[in-house]
Structure 1
Amino acid sequence: MRVYVGTDPFTHRAHMLSQTIPAGPTALDDAEAAARRMLTQVRERRELRTDVTLTELLASHLALLHASGTTRHSYQCMVTKHVQPLLGHLRLSAITPELLDHYYSELRRCRDHCRRPQKNHRCRPLAPATVRKIHYLLSGAYHRAFRWGWIDRSPTMDAAPPPKAHLEPQPPTPAEAAQIMDAAARHSNLGPLVWLAMVTGARRGELCALRWRHFDPVHRVLVIRASIAQVGTTTWEKDTKLHQRRHLALDADTTAMLVRYHHAQQHRAASIGAALTPDSFVFSARADGATWRPPDSLTRQYRRLVTRLGIRTTLHKLRHYSATELIAAGVDVRTVAGRLGHSDGGTTLAYYAAWVREADQRASNILISRLPTPRRPLATKPDTRTTTRRPRCPYETIAAELRTAITDGTLTPGSALPTIQELATIHHVAPSTAHRAIAQLTRQHLITVTRGCRARVNKTVPST
Structure 2
Amino acid sequence: MGLFVVRASYGGPVAASNGRSKRQRGEIETLPSGSLRVKVYAGVDPISGKRHYLTETIPAGRTAAKEAEKVRTRLLAQVDERRNPRTRATLDQLLDRWLEVADIEATTRMGYVNKLNKHVRPVLGKLPVGRLDAETLESFYASLRRCRDWCGGKAYVKHRVEGDHRCTAKCQPHVCKPLSPSSVRQIHWILSGALSRAVRWRWIAVNPAGQAEPPAPPHPDPQPPNPADAARIINEAWRDPDWGALIWLAMTTGARRGELCALRWHHLDLAAGVLTLRRSAYLDDNGEVQEKDTKTHQQRRVALDPETIEVLTELHARYADRLAQLDATADPADYVFSPEPDNSRGYRPDTITQRYGRLAKRLGTDSHLHALRHYSATELINAGVDVRTVAGRLGHGGGGTTTLRVYAAWLSESDQRAAGTLAARMPPRPLAATQRTSSPYQTIAVELREQIADGRLRAGDQFPTVTELAATHSVSVGTAHRAVALLTAEGLVSVARGRRATVAHVE
| Contact 1:281/1:292, CA 8 A, preserved across alignment | yes
Tell me, yes or no, if structure 1 residue 74 matches structure 2 residue 74: no
Query: Residue deviations 1:92-128, cap 9 Å, x none?
Result: 1222211211111110001122231346432111010
In structure 2, the partner of 1:360 is none
* TM-score, normalised by the number of residues in structure 1: 0.70
Using the alignment, how far apart are the partners of 2:368 and 2:328 within structure 1?
Answer: 35
For 1:204, give the aligned amino acid: R
Query: Residue deviations 1:320-360, cap 9 Å, x none?
Result: 0011111111111111111011122389xxxxxxxxxxxxx
Using the alignment, how far apart are the partners of 2:56 and 2:146 within structure 1?
Answer: 40
Residue 28 of structure 1, CA deviation? 11
| Contact 2:392/2:400, CA 8 A, preserved across alignment | no
For 1:67, give the aligned amino acid: I
Residue 30 of structure 1, CA deviation? 8.4
Using the alignment, how far apart are the partners of 2:61 and 2:146 within structure 1?
Answer: 48
| Contact 2:155/2:173, CA 8 A, preserved across alignment | no
In structure 2, the partner of 1:111 is 148
SS in 2 for 1:144: helix
In structure 2, the partner of 1:285 is 339
Tell me, yes or no, if structure 1 residue 259 matches structure 2 residue 309: no
Tell me, yes or no, if structure 1 residue 8 matches structure 2 residue 45: yes
Residues 39, 113 of structure 1: alpha-carbon distance in 2 compared, 3 angstrom cutoff: closer
In structure 1, the partner of 2:391 is 337
> Which residue of the other structure, out of 236, 241, 252, is the alignment partner of 1:183?
236
In structure 2, the partner of 1:318 is 372
Using the alignment, how far apart are the partners of 1:18 and 1:321 within structure 2?
Answer: 59
Tell me, yes or no, if structure 1 residue 309 matches structure 2 residue 363: yes
| Contact 1:275/1:288, CA 8 A, preserved across alignment | no
In structure 1, the partner of 2:290 is 236
1:54-203 aligned within 5 A: 54-115=91-152, 116-118=154-156, 120-203=173-256
Residues 160, 25 of structure 1: alpha-carbon distance in 2 compared, 3 angstrom cutoff: closer
| Contact 1:135/1:156, CA 8 A, preserved across alignment | yes
Unaligned 5+ residue runs, structure 1? 348-365, 367-464
In structure 1, the partner of 2:278 is 225
Using the alignment, how far apart are the partners of 2:357 and 2:57 within structure 1?
Answer: 65
Using the alignment, how far apart are the partners of 1:317 and 1:278 within structure 2?
Answer: 30
Using the alignment, how far apart are the partners of 1:61 and 1:108 within structure 2?
Answer: 26
For 1:324, give the aligned amino acid: T
In structure 2, the partner of 1:247 is 301
CA RMSD of aligned residues (A): 2.6
Residue 34 of structure 1, CA deviation? 7.2
For 1:73, give the aligned amino acid: M
Residues 261, 102 of structure 1: alpha-carbon distance in 2 compared, 3 angstrom cutoff: same
Using the alignment, how far apart are the partners of 2:184 and 2:358 within structure 1?
Answer: 30
SS in 1 for 2:319: helix
Using the alignment, how far apart are the partners of 1:308 and 1:113 within structure 2?
Answer: 36
Residues 28, 110 of structure 1: alpha-carbon distance in 2 compared, 3 angstrom cutoff: closer
Residues 168, 23 of structure 1: alpha-carbon distance in 2 compared, 3 angstrom cutoff: closer
Using the alignment, how far apart are the partners of 1:30 and 1:185 within structure 2?
Answer: 79
For 1:126, give the aligned amino acid: L
| Contact 2:146/2:177, CA 8 A, preserved across alignment | yes
Using the alignment, how far apart are the partners of 2:308 and 2:375 within structure 1?
Answer: 17
SS in 2 for 1:190: helix
Using the alignment, how far apart are the partners of 2:116 and 2:340 within structure 1?
Answer: 38
Residues 257, 86 of structure 1: alpha-carbon distance in 2 compared, 3 angstrom cutoff: same
For 1:212, give the aligned amino acid: W
Residues 153, 107 of structure 1: alpha-carbon distance in 2 compared, 3 angstrom cutoff: same
| Contact 2:262/2:335, CA 8 A, preserved across alignment | yes
Query: Residue deviations 1:288-346, cap 9 Å, x none?
Result: 32222110111111111111111110000000001111111111111111101112238
Using the alignment, how far apart are the partners of 1:132 and 1:334 within structure 2?
Answer: 28
| Contact 2:87/2:130, CA 8 A, preserved across alignment | no
In structure 2, the partner of 1:275 is 329
For this pair of structures, how many residues does the alignment match?
Answer: 347
For 1:59, give the aligned amino acid: D
Using the alignment, how far apart are the partners of 2:261 and 2:67 within structure 1?
Answer: 73
SS in 2 for 1:15: strand
Query: 85-94 or 259-268, which moves further after superposition?
Result: 85-94
Query: Residue deviations 1:49-75, cap 9 Å, x none?
Result: 111111111111122221111111111
Residue 25 of structure 1, CA deviation? 12
In structure 2, the partner of 1:388 is none
Using the alignment, how far apart are the partners of 1:320 and 1:254 within structure 2?
Answer: 18
For 1:72, give the aligned amino acid: R
SS in 1 for 2:92: helix
SS in 1 for 2:110: helix
Residue 273 of structure 1, CA deviation? 2.3
Using the alignment, how far apart are the partners of 2:64 and 2:111 within structure 1?
Answer: 56
> Which residue of the other structure, out of 352, 374, 377, is the alignment partner of 1:298?
352
Residues 267, 42 of structure 1: alpha-carbon distance in 2 compared, 3 angstrom cutoff: same
| Contact 1:100/1:159, CA 8 A, preserved across alignment | yes
Residue 41 of structure 1, CA deviation? 3.9
Residue 26 of structure 1, CA deviation? 12
SS in 1 for 2:241: coil
* TM-score, normalised by the number of residues in structure 2: 0.64
